[in-house]
Amino acid sequence: MKKIFRLEDLDCANCAAKMERAIQKIGGVNEANVSFMGQRLSIDADESRFEEIMDEVVRVCRKVEPDCKIIR
């Protein structure tokens, strides 16, 4: 299932790249894309575990860039 989330306070382009790499490593994520200019996260992940995966995504992103919030 593919979903798009808005990102708030994503202020650094390098962090966006780091977040993207970190999210792609999460199990069950088929594809993830963090757009710095668009301030969006598009993610394609296992539908049955989507919420669980998103929790992990939020956790990982908080680690990389604590200022950035994922609007769910």
Q: What are phi and psi of 22, to 5 degrees?
A: -65, -40
**Could you tell me the two tokens for 47?**
């539908």
CB of 70 to another protein, least distance (A): 15
Nearest CB to another protein, comparing residues 36 and 50: 36
| Residue from 24, 26, 29, 38 binding another protein (CB under 8 A) | 38
Report the chain's C-alpha Rg in angstroms.
Answer: 11
Strand 29-35, strand 2-8: pairing: unpaired
- The answer to whether residue 27 forms part of the interface with another protein (CB under 8 A) is no
List contacts with another protein (CB under 8 A): 11-14, 17-18, 20-21, 33, 35-40, 42, 62-64, 66-67
